[in-house]
Copies of this chain bind each other. A is one copy, B any other.
Amino acid sequence: MFENKETTNIDELGEFRLIKHLTDAISLETDQTLIGAGDDAALVNPKGKMAIVSTDLLVEQVHFDMMYTPLKHLGYKAAVVNFSDICAMNGQPSQLTLSIAFSSKYTLEAIEELYSGALLACKKYKVDLIGGDTSTIPNGLVISGTAMGFIDESEVVKRSGAKTGDLLCVTGDLGGAYMGLQLLEREKRVFLEQKDMQPDLKSHDYIVGRQLKPEARIDVIDFLKKAGIIPTSMIDISDGLSSEIFHLSESSQVDFTVYEEKLPIDQDTFNMAVEFGIDATTAALNGGEDYELLFTIKQEDYEKIKNDPDITVIGHAKDKGMKNELHSKQGNTYALQAQGWKHKNEQ
């Protein structure tokens, strides 16, 4: 729903000039990047650290719907989802490549808008956009990002280090991105049926923002470092809490108990779940795309995190074979389902 003001057909510009045009806006944020975009490859100085590398795809009609996704937000999100994976290794992202394949319905101004969102995220997170590729595509829009970060090997946190007795922690709150998506989908249906109705999103900035413009929890990585905590295992929540718990469980060879009453759920998320007749706990467990961090710490580190409003202890690790379980508010225990969260057009 971006406006087409004065538009430029990209065919007129050609790929080389398009890339030059887009990359002219880049200013390097780190002194690690020796060569950015513009040569056959970028050159980065690891400065004695280890390199972390992660990559993510965003596909139109699978991961986003252009009916309600502003291009600038989309570019921002495409960068952030990659940054989040670097955070999930306890690292800080420092470089990004971003490739875009787009059909002829996208004008130069549209692609610029998308890029400007990615560059905004890069600026905010102090990341250098060091390269990418562009191509036409018969239909739709595909964005492929690869993020890098550099870290001391002793600080790397994998999915596999949780031990029995460790505390299971989550950052921020859960289910918001999922409820934001439900709301956007509903308003889209209303709009398609009655074109004169304007979508009612204003009072739901929080959950809509959670869906359209997520953030990576680099602030928590920073806090943990300052607090002298190295989590024993960590993952980011892209597919839903429940699914990520199973990943930690499988990699670490422990099981987890999670307490329903501890799950951090924002009031706006809760209210919208009530409005949709969805159990808020289900939204928190199975809704995806919150890009919060899920990690385990040793019990002795509890004192250091207990006053941080951004970190909630939601459960603990126990011996493998005891099953991943949810302890309900009513005092019952249920087996967790590794249901994950499928993107709306993925069956």
Which residues A233-248 have CB closer than 8 A to chain B?
Answer: 234-236
Tell me the bound Cα distance from A142 to B34 in angstroms.
30
**Are B54 and A34 neighbours in the complex by a CB distance under 8 Å?**
no
The reply to whether B148 and A347 contact each other, CB–CB distance below 8 Å, is: no
Within 8 A of B (CB), among A19-74: 34-35, 38-46, 48-57, 59-63
CB distance from A286 to the nearest CB of B (A): 15
Instruction: Collect the chain B residues with CB atoms within 8 Å of residue A52's CB.
Output: 41-44
Query: Digit string of A131-161 for contact with B (CB within 8 Å is 1, else 0)?
Result: 1111111111010101111000100101110
Q: Are B235 and A62 closer than 8 Å at their CB atoms?
A: no
Q: How far is the CA of A61 from the CA of B104 in the complex (A)?
A: 14
A121 to chain B, nearest CB (A): 17
Tell me how far the C-beta of A119 lies from the nearest C-beta in chain B, rounded to whole angstroms: 17
With beta carbons under 8 angstroms apart, the residue of B49, B57, B133, B251 that contacts A55 is B133
Would you call B130 and A57 a contact (CB within 8 A)?
Answer: no
A51 touches B51 (CB 8 A): yes
Residues of B within 8 A of A49 (CB): 46
Minimal Cβ-Cβ distance residue in B for A148: B53
Chain A interface residue count: which class?
Answer: 35 or more
Which of B35, B54, B61, B138 has a CB less than 8 Å from the CB of A140? Answer: B138
A88 within 8 A of B: yes
**Which residue of B39, B53, B89, B142 contacts A89 across the interface (Cβ within 8 Å)?**
B39
Q: Determine the distance from Cα of A243 to Cα of B251 in the docked complex, in whole angstroms.
A: 49
- Give the CA-CA distance A134 to B346 in the complex, in Å: 12
Stretch from A94-102, A197-205, A261-269 at the B interface: A94-102
Beta-carbon contact of B142 and A54 below 8 Å:
no
Q: 1/0 per residue A303-347: CB within 8 Å of B?
A: 000000000000000000000000000000000000010000111
Q: Which residues of chain B are within 8 angstroms of A11 by Cβ–Cβ distance? A: 347
Task: Report whether B51 and A136 are in contact in the complex, using a CB–CB cutoff of 8 Å.
Answer: no
Number of this chain's copies in the assembly equals 2
Question: A73-98 CB contact bits vs B (8 Å, 1 = yes)?
Answer: 00000000000011011010001010
Contact B53 A346 (CB under 8 A): no
Residue A15 at the B interface, CB < 8 A? yes
User: A136 with B59: in contact, given A51-B51, A88-B40 (CB under 8 Å)?
Assistant: yes
| Distance between A42 CB and nearest chain B CB, rounded to angstroms | 5
- Please indicate the chain B residues that have their CB under 8 angstroms from the CB of A86 in the complex: 40-41
Cβ 8 A contact of A59, one of B40, B48, B137? B137
Task: Indicate if the CB atoms of A139 and B136 lie closer than 8 Å.
Answer: no
- B88, B99, B101, B142: the one contacting A41 at CB < 8 Å is B88
Additional A-B contacts beyond A55-B146, A62-B136 (17; CB < 8 A): A39-B251, A41-B53, A41-B149, A42-B54, A44-B52, A46-B46, A46-B51, A53-B95, A53-B131, A53-B146, A54-B97, A56-B99, A59-B101, A63-B135, A99-B144, A136-B346, A142-B142
Q: Which residues of A contact B (CB under 8 A)?
A: 11, 15-16, 34-35, 38-46, 48-57, 59-63, 85-86, 88-89, 91, 95, 97, 99, 101, 130-140, 142, 144, 146-149, 153, 156, 158-160, 234-236, 251, 340, 345-347
